[in-house]
C-alpha cells in the first residue's frame, strides 16, 4: 500500500492526539485514504519534557530542519499555538514544499492573507478544519457541501469555554467568578482565560467562517464584539423568567444592506437548538437559500475531537482533495470582497435592557419616553415589587424591545443611564430574532 | 473560465430544482468550483408535460441518446425514481463515459454492488449525497470528515414523512389517520405512503449509511424494521407522561457482538436533540471514537434542499474530489465485510410495553412473573385508576423495562398476550438508551 510520510510540529495536547491516531489506528487511515499516513518526525522544543504519547524511537526531534530537509515528508500538521514562531514555521514548511494542516485560528485570522498567498505561489495548500469548532466539520461543510447555496446566515456558539461558563451559571445558579473557577478546575478554561471570555477567540473564528461563507475580507478586530466576562447572574435569571437563555453568539447575516457581523452575549428563546447547547459544546446554525437551515452540534475543542479534524485534513491533503479545494476556492485571495460590511451602528436587533431604577413615581415614564424619542418600541417589561423586608430604594427594571438599530439603542441607553432616576449601571444585550419552525 | 458540460435525466421536482440552481446561479458554482457547470441537456419522458422550470431552447429532449452520444457531457444527474429504467439508464450513462450523480436511494440499496462495480471497471464515479437525508451532507461527512474515527453509532430520523406524522400526532393530539391525511394535503406524504410509513425508506437509507460508516455489506431487507403505520395515539400520550417522545429511529451501533441494526418507533427522553426534531425535518447523531458525538439537523427532502445536495455532488465530481473519494473508499466492493451483523434476537434494548388488562385482582402479578421468568426487570409502571364513569372491564397497563435481549422481550410479550387476564393486543416499543451529557 502507498505510504505518505507526514510530520507533526508541536506535541502538546492536540499533537499527542494526532500522533496517537496515526500510530495506533493506521489501519483506519489506510482504509479511508487508500494509503498509510506514516509518521516520520515529531518536532518539539524540549526533548526532555514528559509526553502524553509514546513515540517509537527516531521520531521525536527538536530540529525543525529534520522535517524541512526530508523531501519524503509531504504533509505537516503544524500544531503550535500563538503567532510566532508559528507564522515563520509555516512559511518555512511551505517554502520546503510541504502541504500544511493547522488548528491555529489566531494565526489564520491574523496572517491568513500572507500565508495563503505564499502557499498559492508555491503550489502548496493549507488545511484548517480544526481551527473552527474542533470536531464539527464546519469548514468542509461550508466550502464543499453547501457550494450550490448562497449562505444567508451563520449563527454559532464557537467558544466552548464561554459556553461552559454560561451553562453552569444557568444550570447551577453560580456567579461568573465561581463558574470560571470551576471551568479552570476541569480544564475547560486556561489560567488566563481572557481570549476566550472576552470574545476574541469567537471573533477570530467568525472572521474565518465569514471569509469562507461570504467571501468577506474582514479583520477579526473589526467585528463588534463583547464577551461574557461582564455577565451578571441576575440577567440569566431575568432571561429565564422571560423564557430565554443567554449564550455567547457569533453571527454573520447577509442582508440587503450588507453583511452584519457580531459576537455578543445574546438572549435566545429556550427550546431553540442554540439555546439548549450545554457544557463546553459548540454548535452552528447555517442557513443557505437552497438547503434551508442546517444545525451542527458537537465538541468544539479537546484533544481527540480536534485531532480527529486534523487527521481528516491530513488524509484529504494526502489523497488530493484539499489541493483541489484550495485551488478552486481562492481563500484569502486578493479577489475583491463580494460583500460590504454593514456598519455596526445600523444593525437591527431586538434588545434586552436591565436598568437599576429609583423606586419612585414617574421612573418608568421617564425611561420609556427616552426609548420613544429614539423610536424604540417596547415588547415586554418586568418590574418586580420591591422586597417589603428590604429598605433598598432601588429596583431592577427589565425591558425587552422590538427591533431597533444598534446605534439608536446604544444612544437611548446612554441617555437613560444619565437620568437621575437611574441609579446604577445599565445592561443591554441582543435578543435573537425568533423564527417559526 | 473552464466549462464542464452537464445533463439532467428526469425533470420532476428535484430535477427542476437542479436546473434552476444551474441556470439561475451559475455564478455561484463558478465561484465554488472555479468553473461553470453548463446545462447542455435535460431528458424527459414526455416533452408536452408542463414543467416547473423554464429551460432555454435546445436543452429539453426526450432522447437519452442526446446525452449518451454527446461526448462533451461529463457529469449527469440521474433523477428518476424507482428501480427500472433507472438502473439501465445509469449503466448506459456509465458505459458512455459519464460520471453520475443520483438521489435514488432505492436504486443504490438494491443495485449498489452492480452499479459501483461497473463504475469502477470503467474508471467512472457515482455520487449520492442526496440519497440520504436530503440537504444534510451526511454522506460526505461520514466518508471524509470523520475518516480518522471508528464510528461506533449512528442514530437518525431519516424519513421526513414519518416524522411529520408522529410530530403532528404528538403536538396536535391527532390520530395516525388524521395526521397522515394532513401530511398528504401538505405534500409531505405521497398518495401511497407505504414505503415511507412502513420503515422501508428508512431501512434503505440506513443500509447505505451502515455501508459507509462500518463497511457493512447488508441488504436493506435484512434490517429488522417496523414503521409508524400501527402507531396508536395512546402510546404517544403514555410516552409523554413518562417524559418521552416517540420517533421513527434508524440505528446502527457497533458493539462487542457485532453491528446492531434496526428501524423502529422508539421512545426518546424529551429534551434530547433527536426527541425534539419536529415536522418533516431529518436529524442524525453520529458517534466516533475520536470526535465524540456530532448531531446534524436539517431538511431531509424537498425540492431545493435535495437539489442543493445534487449540485454540490456535481461540483465535487467536476472538480475531481468525488473521483478521488470514490477510488479510495471502495464502496460496495467485494472486499470482505469487516463487521458481522448481530442477530436481532440478541440485540439488547429497554422496552415500553402497553398491555390491555382485565381490571381484576392478580393481573399485575401474573404479567410481572412472566417478565421475571424471562429475566426482564421492570423500571417503571403506570396503571391509571379506571374511569369511575365507565363500565369498561379493562385497563391499560404500561411497563418500562430495563435492558433485555430482543428475543426474550418478544417471547415474554407473546406469552403475556396469551394470558387470560390480557384482553387485547399488546404494544412493544424500544426505548433509546439515555446518555449523560
What does the pLDDT look like over A107-129, one tens digit per residue? 998 999 899 999 999 999 999 99
Q: Please provide the size of chain A in residues.
A: 437
More confident residue, A405 or B386: A405
Contacts of A136 in chain B (CB under 8 A): 294
Residue range B123-140: average pLDDT? 95
- B141 to chain A: closest CA residue: A137
**B87 vs B9: CA distance, rounded Å:** 12
Query: Does the beta-carbon distance from A308 to B291 stay under 8 Å?
Result: yes
Neighbours of B70 (CB within 10 A): 15
d(CA B197, CA B180): 9
Between chains, do B148 and A273 touch, taking CB under 8 Å as contact?
no
Query: For A148, which of B144, B288, B312 is closest by C-beta distance?
Result: B312
Residue of A8, A148, A150, A304 to mutate when probing chain B, most B C-beta within 10 A? A148
CA distances from A160 to A132, A155, A193, A211, B232 (A): 11, 15, 12, 22, 42
Q: In angstroms, what separates the C-alpha of B373 from chain A's closest C-alpha?
A: 42
pLDDT at residue A332 is higher than 80? no
CB contact under 8 A, B437 and A29: no
| pLDDT tens digit sequence for B394-430 | 889 999 999 999 999 999 999 999 999 999 899 999 9
Given a cut of 80, whether residue B108 has pLDDT beyond it is yes
Which single residue is written with the C-alpha cell 438494491? B110
Nearest CA in chain A to B146: A312
Angle B26-33/A321-329 helices, nearest 10 degrees? 130
What residues of B are in contact with residue A138 (Cβ under 8 Å)?
A: none
CA-closest candidate to residue A274, choices A300, A243, A295, A298:
A295
What is the reported pLDDT for A329?
79
B105-122 and B86-95 helices, crossing angle to 10°: 20
Task: Please state, in angstroms and rounded to a whole number, the distance separating the CA atoms of residues A169 and B194.
Answer: 48
Nearest residue in A to B28, CA atom? A148
pLDDT at residue A316, rounded to an integer: 94
Note if B205 is an active site residue: yes
pLDDT of residue A437: 47
∠ CA A61-A64-A65, nearest 5°, is 105
Residue contact A312–B146, C-beta within 8 A: yes
Residue B43: half-sphere exposure toward Cβ, Cα within 13 Å: 20
Tell me if residue A435 falls in helix, strand or coil: coil
Place of cell 446605534: A407
C-alpha cell at A63: 530540529
The model carries a pTM of 0.94
Which among A29, A288, A316 is the nearest to B144, CB-wise?
A316
> ipTM score of the complex?
0.93
- The pLDDT, as a whole number, for residue B437 is 47
Annotated catalytic residue, options B49, B205, B247, B433: B205
Q: DSSP code of A336?
A: P
CB atoms within 10 A of CB B368: 17
Domains of chain B are 3-134 (3.40.50.720), 138-296 (3.30.360.10), 347-431 (3.30.70.260)
Given this model, what pLDDT does residue B436 score?
54
What whole-number percentage of chain A has pLDDT above 90? 79
- Asked if B307's CB is within 8 angstroms of A278's CB, the reply is no
Query: What's the Cα-to-Cα distance from A347 to each of A219, A260, B310, rounded to whole Å?
Result: 18, 7, 35
Instruction: Please state the length of chain B.
Output: 437
Kind and range of the H or E run holding A422: none
Grid coordinates representing B138? Answer: 451526511
User: Are B250 and B203 contacting, i.e. CB atoms less than 8 angstroms apart?
Assistant: yes
Residue A320 pLDDT exceeds 50: yes
Instruction: Kindly write down the DSSP assignment for every residue of B309-378, as one continuous string.
Output: HHHHHHHHHHHTHHHHHHHHH-TT-SSPPSSPBPPGGG-EEEEEEEEEEESSTTHHHHHHHHHHHTT--E
Query: Which residue is listed with cell 463487521?
Result: B339
Cα B274 → chain centroid: 14
Band of residue A353 on the pLDDT scale cut at 50, 70, 90: very high
Catalytic residue (choose from A5, A98, A205, A247): A205
pLDDT at A58: 92
CB atoms within 10 A of CB B50: 4
User: In chain A, which residues have their Cβ closer than 8 Å to the Cβ of B35?
Assistant: 328
**Interface contact flag, A305 B319, Cβ < 8 Å:** no
So what's the pLDDT on residue B340?
A: 87
Which residues on chain B are in Cβ contact (under 8 Å) with A147?
28-29, 32-33, 311-312, 315
Band (A339; pLDDT cuts 50, 70, 90): confident
Q: Taking CB atoms and an 8 Å limit, are B32 and A147 in contact across chains? A: yes
Mean pLDDT of B64-69: 97
Q: What is the pLDDT of residues A47-98, one digit of tens each?
A: 888 877 789 999 999 999 999 999 999 999 999 999 999 999 999 999 999 9
pLDDT attached to residue B14: 94
Average pLDDT over residues B318-345: 84
Q: Which of A203-217, A297-311, B24-38, B278-292 has the lowest mean pLDDT?
A: B24-38
Chain B hits for A25, Cβ within 8 Å: 148, 150
Amino acid at each position: 500500500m502507498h505510504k505518505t510520510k507526514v510530520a507533526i510540529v508541536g506535541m502538546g495536547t492536540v499533537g499527542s492526539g494526532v500522533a496517537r491516531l496515526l500510530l495506533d489506528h493506521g489501519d483506519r487511515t489506510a482504509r479511508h485514504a487508500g494509503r498509510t499516513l506514516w509518521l516520520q518526525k515529531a518536532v518539539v522544543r524540549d526533548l526532555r519534557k514528559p509526553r502524553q504519547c509514546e513515540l517509537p524511537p527516531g521520531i521525536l526531534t527538536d530540529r525543525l530542519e529534520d522535517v524541512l530537509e526530508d523531501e519524503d515528508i509531504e504533509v505537516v500538521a503544524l500544531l503550535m499555538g500563538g503567532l510566532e514562531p508559528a507564522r515563520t514555521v509555516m512559511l518555512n514548511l511551505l517554502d520546503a514544499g510541504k502541504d500544511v494542516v493547522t488548528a491555529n485560528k489566531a494565526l489564520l485570522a491574523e496572517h491568513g492573507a500572507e500565508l495563503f498567498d505564499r502557499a498559492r505561489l508555491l503550489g502548496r495548500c493549507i488545511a484548517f478544519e480544526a481551527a473552527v469548532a474542533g470536531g464539527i466539520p464546519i469548514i468542509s461543510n461550508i466550502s464543499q457541501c453547501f457550494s450550490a447555496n448562497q449562505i444567508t446566515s451563520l449563527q454559532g456558539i464557537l467558544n466552548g469555554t464561554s459556553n461552559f461558563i454560561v451553562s453552569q451559571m444557568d444550570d447551577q445558579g453560580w456567579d461568573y467568578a465561581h463558574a470560571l473557577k470551576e471551568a479552570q478546575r476541569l480544564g475547560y478554561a486556561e489560567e488566563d482565560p481572557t481570549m476566550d471570555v472576552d470574545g476574541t477567540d469567537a471573533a477570530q473564528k467568525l472572521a474565518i467562517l465569514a471569509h469562507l461563507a461570504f467571501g468577506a475580507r474582514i479583520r477579526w478586530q473589526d467585528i463588534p464584539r463583547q464577551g461574557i466576562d461582564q455577565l451578571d447572574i441576575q440577567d440569566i435569571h431575568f432571561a429565564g423568567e422571560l423564557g430565554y437563555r443567554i449564550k455567547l453568539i457569533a453571527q454573520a447575516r447577509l442582508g440587503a444592506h450588507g453583511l452584519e457581523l457580531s459576537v455578543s452575549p445574546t438572549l435566545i428563546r429556550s427550546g431553540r437548538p442554540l439555546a439548549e447547547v450545554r457544557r463546553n459544546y459548540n454548535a452552528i446554525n447555517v442557513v443557505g437559500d437552497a438547503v434551508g437551515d442546517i444545525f451542527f452540534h458537537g465538541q468544539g475543542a479537546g484533544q481527540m475531537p480536534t485531532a480527529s479534524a486534523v487527521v481528516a485534513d491530513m488524509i484529504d491533503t494526502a489523497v488530493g482533495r484539499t489541493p483541489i479545494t484550495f485551488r478552486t476556492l481562492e481563500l484569502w485571495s486578493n479577489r475583491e470582497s463580494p460583500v460590504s460590511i454593514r456598519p455596526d451602528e445600523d444593525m437591527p436587533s431586538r434588545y434586552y435592557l436591565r436598568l437599576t431604577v429609583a423606586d419612585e413615581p414617574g421612573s418608568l415614564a421617564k425611561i420609556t419616553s427616552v426609548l420613544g424619542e429614539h423610536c424604540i418600541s417596547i415588547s415586554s417589561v418586568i418590574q418586580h415589587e420591591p422586597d417589603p423586608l428590604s429598605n433598598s430604594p432601588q429596583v431592577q427594571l427589565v425591558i425587552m424591545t422590538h427591533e431597533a438599530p444598534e446605534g439608536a439603542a446604544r444612544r437611548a441607553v446612554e441617555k437613560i443611564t444619565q437620568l437621575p432616576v437611574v441609579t446604577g449601571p445599565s445592561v443591554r444585550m441582543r435578543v435573537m430574532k425568533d423564527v417559526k419552525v
